[in-house]
Chains A and B, each alone.
Chain A
């Protein structure tokens, strides 16, 4: 029927600078070449040799009917929009892909990546079997051998240096069950050195936003944008990074007359469809936002009522904003007054307006300032908690939201419980394990102090992925753990998303062992000069397993398995089982999770996290409810996401968290966060009372604002057993609930009774507070502007300098001022920024191994303004070196354009397989090299880490460009 593995027709395309001009697309293999140019004697043989089948009579082929075609519902594995997919499978082969017209998120639409997922069923360049690097050569080994050897090495490292010397780098491509399992696995191994892509992507968002009003996630949804009358993008190129989101934006634009404002250093494809475009200097987000607020405050456009009732600290903000006069804004950002005014007026005149940001805002050393400024902007305009408003943060990978929520993060346990003893105790109970035993798994030493109290590694934040190699290279005594990181596990995570390539390479060469568990080898396999000690274990993709996944709008979707794992790959959770068994803690890890044939039962894992994720309401989404939603996804309204009739009537698609209480409570999910127009039972919400009840004499609780049906017509703190008793509702709990709820609060009550009773009375379990515009625990309580570490504007440094160096931050010394104080602006005069391409995703190993995608982006390039190019003497498509101040250099093709301003250059992120001018394609294992290779942008990107989350500063640095 349909599926063809046309592997004999596709030839590897090594896109180095010497690739023949014929690399412009057309491949031919030897067979067809000979066939088509042979001059065989005799016309008949000539004819048949050259035109096969041409003169044969056309046979009427009977339509292939062996094996019925099954239609399987799943979700795209690429970005977090979560597009629905119908996969058609026949005889276990993925033969067709049909658009899911009635899926509420995408209505059948896909971008280039989503439209090509069926290629995963071909998997020509997949890692096919466990492989080990022996003496510079890749050797096939068995799973048994791989697990044994890796396990032995890890145990040896643990014995010699302690559990913190193994770094567990997890994945945003795990499904929820795998994410949760992975975090649990790292916990039972005994380390907090566990992290994933969110760190380098939206960590500053989560930190900034959660610390403003309680949760750090997208507040509304893509679909809800239909209701917006204004849409502002800052540092977000949705047209390339979230193309299907544009479907919703266009709907708002065309049917709601929504105005679109784009703020970006580049005139992106999104800007091309905007009404207003503001070109800012990279790294000056806070001045732009404060500049807009300057006009808003000046004209009194703020929503005074909303601020009075639901926001704390605006006066402090006003003081800071007053400094940002139009002249100052223009001086720092480059944007003239009339544009800032126009943008501010547009947002003020057209409410509700939504505010969208992505990496452009988050990936800075002051990322947490940016994200908080964005939130404050929406608070000031009163755009929060309303349909069409909100902060619609577009997340990246397909399950980065889920992986973040399950805290594959070095600073928290699942559900953002943190790392305190209380958090550990809560999870110990959920896992039904002895808390002391878990504590004993950790290194018992102490390397950090908090107010003279010795802290243990169990309770201190681990090293982040953005700095893992500093954990390897830094002097042992300067790291807040027993020893250096000695073993690195890249589990579904590429290395080219971290900066400072040369340092990373050194670290890779110093490691005892590097384990890469991925469907593809990734650049980690080839970047270093190691001759051994690298293990490649083939993981299955998300189409070869099943489970739940959380889209950016907090909806959980259930994926069904499309095909069996290909070649010798195994689903991640199976590998976790086998590895934990070798490491000796499989029994506690899977205590209440059934394992059949080495594969843990996914539904058991869902049920387990349903029992523990009270903080963010991952408790109501049972497997049964999620599967029902998947089965009837056509019954959900396109704008409200509410099911209108059908078996899911009244529920919101995917039961967006918080889905309070137990599954039996049947909470419908919370489609729009902080929306007080609905009762909590119907999906409404208040701002979380997370930061205390009072500060400096001012109440932090909501002032006269409350959700519909609320028993308390005012603010209230978060719920605990004490509060319930105080309110006289303790006896609303059942006996069983009382048993578990005693001495607990809404986060730790494993019966869910406290939540149930609170909601019964129309109250949000987490309280009803004001959002705070000042985060007094952050380095900058009021968000301020600080110049990037590498900046050309030395004149601004006096006023807007960066932080002081820190001796220990996430266990590592972290530099700020000592970097910024060095002047690189004359030697490296061009500002360098980075971003995305629609054809690829993340580190690119997966998408560059898909020929349908790879054909569309065959060369790594740098966008350079024509002005600069002429100054340098570079022509379009010529090779250039892009060199950065720390000594790294990459060789790429110049693309002359006006998209970037003069003085700014742009690198796309997803390439890999080259390193500083050297093509590494031959170093990949046979048959597992991507079709397209190129320099990784982050090889050249420089030092710079956010002051709260260690997010790297990949959006602004300096470079020079010279002809190659």
Chain B
């Protein structure tokens, strides 16, 4: 059985936010509910890298563990979903989630958050596949149509990958090899490059004495 995973290739992510709006496109969540976001470390400095993050569909999901009403369930393919109709909006899943995936449509007083919404790996929810109700509550169910999440399908540089874990790791392995291969041909590790602001002095300083 395929195990569905996300992977964001940090060497390729350019923070274009295509994944973020693709998610909005597919799932039509309202303003303020952003299932996916891109976070940039060392913004504006050498070593700047970005990562796209949404629900990571953990194997041992902390959200599922802490939910007081036990609305989460993990499908055979590893996708973690939840039943919005039973959610009580307590926010515990958000406290537990390392990635901040749970989104709430309101930030109300007296803890009124509304129903938790999160990335579903474009796999809908516990109602009939591709029904109107499913779209209202959970957004798209692309997996049921044999497609993959739209965020990864629309990534501008193919940084964000989604799908079967073994397929993804194969793709990434090839990339790592390609990047590392530069060591053999040029003696410089490709991945190392942008962490330096100023290039190393080239061999042989240019001067009028050359």
Contact = CB atoms under 8 A, between A and B. Distances in A.
A64 B31 contact: no
Contact of A899 (B43, B129, B194): B43
Given A22-B107, A109-B158, A897-B43, A269 B31 contact: no
Interface string A242-280: 011011001001110100000000110111111111000
A77 B19 CA distance: 18
B25 A119 contact: yes
B32 A58 contact: no
A899 B154 contact: no
Interface stretch (A311-319, A704-712, A797-805, A847-855): A847-855
A257 B185 contact: yes
B156 A11 contact: no
Interface string B187-210: 000100110011101100110001
Nearest to B200: A342
Contact of A59 (B43, B133, B156): B133
Nearest to B136: A4
B202 A341 contact: yes
A941 B32 CA distance: 33
B193 A275 contact: yes
Given A1-B132, A27-B30, A257 B199 contact: no
B175 interface: yes
Contacts of A107: 158
A246 B114 contact: no
Nearest to B203: A345
Interface string A10-28: 1101000000001001111
Contact of B198 (A9, A244, A339): A339
Contacts of B181: 257
B127 interface: yes
Interface string B98-111: 00000001111110
Contacts of B185: 257
Nearest to A852: B24
B142 to A, nearest CB: 10
B16 interface: yes
B178 A254 contact: yes
A257 B178 CA distance: 8
Contacts of B157: 109, 243-244, 246-247, 250
A908 B34 CA distance: 23
A254 B179 contact: yes
A112 B18 contact: yes
Contact of B156 (A58, A61, A63, A246): A246
Interface string B1-35: 00000000001101111111110110010111010
Contacts of B56: none
Contacts of B198: 277, 338-339
B25 A272 contact: no
A68 interface: no
Interface stretch (B45-53, B59-67, B72-80, B163-171): B45-53
B54 interface: no
Given A1-B135, A115-B18, A273-B194, A898 B48 contact: no
A61 B175 contact: no
Interface in A31-67: 32-33, 36-37, 51, 53-54, 58-64
A38 to B, nearest CB: 11
B134 A838 contact: no
Of the four ranges (under 10, 10 to 19, 20 to 34, 35 or more), the interface on chain B belongs to 35 or more
Contacts of A898: 44-45
Interface in B92-137: 105-110, 112, 114, 126-136
Given A54-B86, A338-B202, A110 B18 contact: yes
Contacts of B107: 22, 26
Nearest to B88: A51
Contact of A243 (B16, B130, B132): B16
Contacts of B156: 106, 109-111, 114, 243-244, 246-247
Given A2-B140, A61-B127, A342-B199, A112 B17 contact: yes
A855 B31 contact: yes
A361 interface: no
Nearest to A3: B28
Contact of B32 (A26, A240, A326): A26
Contacts of B155: 109
A118 interface: yes
A897 B134 CA distance: 43
A856 B17 contact: yes
A118 B202 CA distance: 49
Contacts of B153: 98-99, 101, 108
Contacts of B109: 37
Nearest to B159: A250
A266 B147 CA distance: 40
A243 B52 CA distance: 15
B150 interface: yes
Nearest to A855: B31
A133 B180 CA distance: 63
A839 B135 CA distance: 26
A875 to B, nearest CB: 17
Contact of B31 (A25, A240, A267): A25
A277 B16 contact: no
B30 A10 contact: yes
A275 B136 CA distance: 46
Interface of A: 1-2, 4, 6, 9-11, 13, 22, 25-28, 32-33, 36-37, 51, 53-54, 58-64, 97-99, 101, 106-116, 118-119, 239-240, 243-244, 246-247, 250, 253-255, 257, 266-267, 269-277, 295, 298-299, 326, 337-339, 341-342, 345, 838-839, 851-853, 855-856, 897-900
Given A13-B31, A338-B198, 5 more contacts: A26-B31, A109-B18, A243-B16, A267-B44, A337-B205
Among all A-B residue pairs, the 3 with the closest Cβ atoms: A899-B44, A61-B131, A26-B32
8 contacts: A58-B133, A97-B25, A109-B155, A115-B19, A115-B22, A243-B157, A338-B198, A338-B201
